[in-house]
């Protein structure tokens, strides 16, 4: 009797242990969340490499509970298509250019205003402490969570000839970003811009539809790696002007974001903010080398003088007047006031 009792007890204990083990394992293993993000960045560019590293960090820090698929290189089509997909939940996030984002939050146009920022430090201060907090609230109302503003860089003239004065632009077939600010800028200088979607830029150049435009030095390096063999580099003139600041913002579907546990949300935002800092540092550091590289492989690289630049700046005041009601007068005034305070050494307190 005692022997049977001991055998039965042992069997029950074994089953109990097995059940406890499997139950504990099942409950401790959380469901994996698959995240799809879209962008225009290419894997071999500084942006693509930084995004790839950020994805690895997020997956590692969440113990694989978040699995991210990066649909890069414009796989999903236009910026508008990516933005629409994020809004309806077709994908969870996307790196979208400011011109596209301005279609749902017009205040975003402020980032591209010509000659708004004098240098990188001024741009980062105003973006992080004055501009971004306002825009985040606007995007939240649209069902989107945003990361910090991610840099593409200051844009220069990339033309079929050298540029020293606005009149030089009149004979050029300028391909413009589909941005009301960019279009207004070119027109303020007496040029006739041709708006082109980002996905059609190379085809437009190849067909001779356009022969001029604008971009940052680092973006031009990435562009050359893709299309350099088909370009007549000696016919391309890069004139340093830093006439506008170009950026993108990673937008995330708010419903999806709120479905994550608090730890995952914290990790996600922490890594995205870190990525922004890394990109800024890398792009700023590599810009001089990028310009040297472009010159060494055949591009014509020059720079306008402060006196020449002042003429473009004066003409650009028309853009501020034209965009004031679109951006919001009080918002624009607050940014310009903060800029004036920054330049006089009276910075706003960083919150």
Condensed to tens digits (0 to 9), the pLDDT of residues 132-141 reads 999 999 999 9
Q: Any idea which of 16-20, 138-142, 239-243, 342-346 has the lowest mean pLDDT?
A: 16-20
CB distance 70 to 56 below 8 Å: no
Question: Does 63 have pLDDT greater than 90?
Answer: yes
Nearest-angstrom CA–CA distance, 347 and 351: 12
Q: The dihedral of CA 148, 149, 153, 158: what is its sign?
A: positive
Can you state the angle between helices 46-61 and 217-227, rounded to 10 degrees?
100
Which are the contacts of 185, defined by CB distance < 8 A and separation ≥ 6?
Answer: 114, 243, 244, 316, 319
Mean pLDDT of the chain: 91
> What are the CA-CA distances from residue 236 to residues 66, 160, 239 (Å)?
44, 5, 10
**Which class is 32-343 in CATH?**
alpha beta
Within a 10 A sphere around the Cβ of 190, how many other Cβ atoms? 13
In eight-state DSSP terms, residue 102 is: T
- Tracing tokens 């890594």 back to the chain, one arrives at 271
Against a cut of 0.85, is the pTM above it? yes
């Amino acid at each position: 009797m005692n022997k049977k009792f001991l055998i039965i007890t042992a069997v029950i204990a074994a089953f109990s242990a097995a059940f406890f083990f499997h139950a504990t394992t099942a409950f401790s293993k959380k469901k994996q969340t698959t995240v799809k993000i879209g962008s225009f960045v290419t894997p071999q560019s500084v942006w693509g490499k930084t995004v790839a590293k950020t994805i690895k960090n997020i997956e590692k820090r969440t113990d694989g509970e978040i699995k991210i698929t990066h649909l890069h290189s414009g796989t999903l089509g236009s910026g508008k298509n990516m933005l629409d997909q994020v809004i309806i939940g077709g994908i969870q996030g996307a790196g979208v250019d400011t011109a596209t984002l301005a279609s749902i939050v017009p205040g975003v146009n402020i980032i591209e205003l010509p000659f708004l920022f004098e240098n990188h430090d001024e741009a980062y201060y105003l973006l992080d402490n004055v501009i971004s907090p306002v825009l985040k609230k606007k995007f939240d109302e649209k069902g989107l969570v945003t990361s910090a503003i991610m840099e593409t860089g200051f844009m220069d003239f990339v033309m079929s000839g050298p540029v020293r004065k606005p009149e030089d632009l009149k004979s050029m077939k300028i391909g413009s970003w589909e941005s009301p600010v960019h279009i207004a800028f070119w027109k303020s200088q007496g040029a006739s811009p041709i708006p082109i979607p980002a996905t059609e830029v190379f085809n437009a150049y190849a067909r001779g539809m356009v022969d001029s435009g604008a971009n940052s030095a680092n973006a031009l390096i990435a562009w050359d790696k893709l299309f350099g063999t088909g370009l007549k580099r000696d016919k391309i003139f890069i004139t340093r002007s830093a006439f506008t600041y170009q950026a993108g913002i990673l937008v995330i579907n708010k419903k999806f974001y709120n479905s994550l546990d608090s730890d995952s949300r914290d990790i996600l935002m922490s890594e995205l903010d870190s990525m922004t800092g890394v990109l800024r540092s890398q792009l700023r550091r590599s810009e001089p080398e990028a310009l040297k590289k472009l010159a060494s492989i055949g591009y014509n690289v020059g720079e306008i003088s402060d006196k020449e630049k002042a003429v473009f700046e004066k003409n650009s005041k028309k853009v501020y007047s034209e965009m004031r009601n679109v951006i919001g007068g009080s918002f624009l005034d607050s940014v310009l006031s903060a800029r004036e305070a920054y330049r006089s050494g009276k910075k706003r307190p960083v919150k």
